Chains A and B, each alone.
Chain A
Amino acid sequence: MRIESIEIQNFRQYRSEKFSFPQMPGKKDIHVIIGENGEGKTNILNALTWCLYGEELHLGDKNTAISNINSQYVHELRNHGERNGEAKVTVVMSIEDGGLITFMRTATYSITDSNIIETRQDVIATSTENGGHRIIDNKNDYAMYVSRYVPIEINEYIFFDGELMDQYFKSDKKGNIESGIKDLTKASTIEKTRNALKSFAKNEIAPVLRNNGDAKVREAQQALENAQKNQQEQQDKLGIIVGQLNTAESKVEELKGVIQGFDTLKDKTDRLSELEQESDKLKERQRKIYVEMMEFARQNYILFAMYPALKEFKDYIQNQETKGNLPPKIDRRLVQSIIDSKECAICGCKLGTEHLQHVLAVLHKLEVSSVTSAELNRASSALNAFFDTIKAYPRRKQAIIEAKKDIDIRIKKNDEEYKALSLELKNIPNQEEIRRAIIEREDYKKQSDRLHEKFGREELLLEARVRAVKKAEKELDAAMRSNHRMDIYRKQLDFCTKGIMLLDDTLKEIIEECRLEMQAATFEIFDKLVWKKDAFTQVNILEDYSFELLDSYGQQTLGACSAAERALLALSFTIALQQTSGHDSLLYIDTPLGRVGEKNRINFMQVLSGIADTKQVILSFTPTEYDENVRGQLAGQYSSYCELNFNNGVTTIKK
């Protein structure tokens, strides 16, 4: 299928322009449109989708977009006092058998001085297919006709916005990939038919059984409906869990791409802040040890200064003691207590008068010894304590030195680790993004584990409810069999049930086979087109329609590869989808190099040029995109080329 021409009248910035895309002999089916931003490149796509689907699918913001009728035209109508105007787009397509189809949509507007109101839309499709001529002017038939050739559900796989191409595989786009596969493989037709059968059985046959005169059938039908309701509730519950699980798992995969190679970054940044805190603590401890050391030195300086004098004093006391000039070291209070209690302080025996006389004599002797001698005795004890302190000096000094050494070593080690780690981290780009991604991935992993457990529990419950439905179906069947008046309904219900089962089975198989076929075809095409040979080894389309692009080590690399490579994968997937489904369509890419860096532009253009060997490729570039290299790449290859000219709010094709 090709687009032969697009004619735009009074639509957006176009007054009356026709873009023709003929394939010229000896040239590729490539068509180039050049226009600055805002000159109307994207509005050619909008005109195209509006004509086909009645929607401008490439508008920046639908809510704030003004009416699509050309403003200059409206101004002229107002000046001439005209109250009605028309915007019209005509698209001519050629199909495989050589037939031509013309799709035309016209919007009529009522124009006042302050308002523009769309009053009606008309569509008309004319075709020359299989030698016949056909005119369709009914909106529903027109939509059905469009759907046969360019279904709206897959328009994203035909009309691309190059700026968004590398976003194709984000987790929130999985729905598009799923619907693309389902629509192009016709799995959506099976789904629609199966749902229609289900709804017919539920809404048309079940009420008859529920309200008929046979009590047994009524009860069995009621029981079946209850069982079905329980099953549906459980299925919905499981569906929600599966949705959450898929989201969590694809987020883990997506984040893996961001994190790849930097898995330990979080640990490292955590360690860095740990080292910072540790360093503060160690430095505080070092300061305290220093103060302690100073205090120790000051104290010991005093002690050592006093040492000679005190040594002399101690020697003097010792000398006096040796000479027996000092009283014995007896506690006077103890002696007095012995006298008072008349008991021996050691054995507790009662003391007689004679013994008491001896004790009194000791007390007397103590009392008569000179006060100086007693003071010397007491000083001796204090001096002993002083000399003990002096004796402990080397040990205490050593302990303080050891503590200081230890803290110095720990600070040095900490500093070295900190420096090495911060140097390593400095060389990692987008650190904050990676760190956030690691934390986010951990959260999603935990969430995924929890959901897996929950899924297991709920799945068991679903199995039980499915069994209950089967049992209720059998009971209803038995109840209906015992009443021949119910035969017709039983057979109808049986047809619906068998049909639903048949379509369910077919649907599962088709989707699974297509997914695997798509997977293989996408990689085959991608591998052929990609400029970095042997860098990628496999494409996986997982059951939840998320993508994996594996590198030569079998690692997911989709998140980490370049925008150009992702855009190329999107293109490969699209071509694979069209090939697998047999839907031969063109490719229209607006700003194809929008997200492709300069380095990869030639490669990307070579790919597009290769694609044009088998299908029509329409490309609209900005002049910046269409640089010397791209021009060189396409020189002599394209079938048509045009430049847009924007003047006074109107875009025309440069002659």
Chain B
Amino acid sequence: MALNQKITKKIKEKAANDDFLRKNMIMLLSKVDEGKQPKRLIETILNEIR
């Protein structure tokens, strides 16, 4: 099952002005939905913040 399209649409709308947040939140949710552990994923995202 793919991540509910409604969720993606809502995230896109709500974070329309913040590319970094929008892109990473959609990625994070998709990976968590596939069963990946979120902690590692968050670490990777935050490491991009310098």
Contacts and interface: CB of A to CB of B under 8 A. Distances in A.
A503 B34 contact: no
Given A488-B50, A492-B49, A510-B10, A581 B32 contact: no
Contact of A513 (B6, B14, B24, B33): B6
Given A148-B1, A189-B3, 9 more contacts: A149-B1, A186-B1, A189-B33, A196-B32, A197-B38, A496-B46, A499-B28, A502-B21, A506-B10
Interface of A: 143-144, 147-149, 185-186, 189-190, 192-193, 196-197, 199-200, 204, 488, 491-492, 495-496, 498-499, 502-503, 505-506, 509-510, 513, 581-583
A498 B28 contact: no
A204 B39 CA distance: 10
A499 B46 CA distance: 12
Contact of A495 (B4, B7, B32, B45): B45
A306 B32 CA distance: 113
Contact of B28 (A149, A185, A193, A510): A193
B46 A492 contact: yes
Given A147-B35, A488-B50, A502 B42 contact: no
A185 B4 contact: yes
Nearest to A147: B35
A652 to B, nearest CB: 37
Nearest to B2: A582
Interface of B: 1, 3-4, 6-7, 10-11, 14-15, 18, 20-21, 24-25, 28-29, 32-35, 38-39, 42-43, 45-46, 49-50
Given A186-B4, A502-B25, A510-B4, A196 B39 contact: yes
27 contacts: A143-B35, A144-B34, A148-B34, A149-B1, A186-B29, A186-B33, A190-B7, A190-B29, A193-B28, A193-B29, A193-B32, A193-B38, A196-B38, A197-B42, A200-B39, A495-B24, A495-B49, A498-B15, A498-B21, A502-B11, A502-B25, A503-B25, A505-B14, A510-B4, A510-B7, A513-B6, A581-B4
Contacts of A204: 43
B21 A495 contact: yes
Contacts of A144: 34-35
Nearest to A517: B6
Contacts of A499: 21, 24-25, 28
B42 A506 contact: no
A510 B38 CA distance: 21
B3 to A, nearest CB: 6
Contact of A200 (B10, B29, B42, B50): B42
Nearest to B13: A506
A583 B2 CA distance: 10
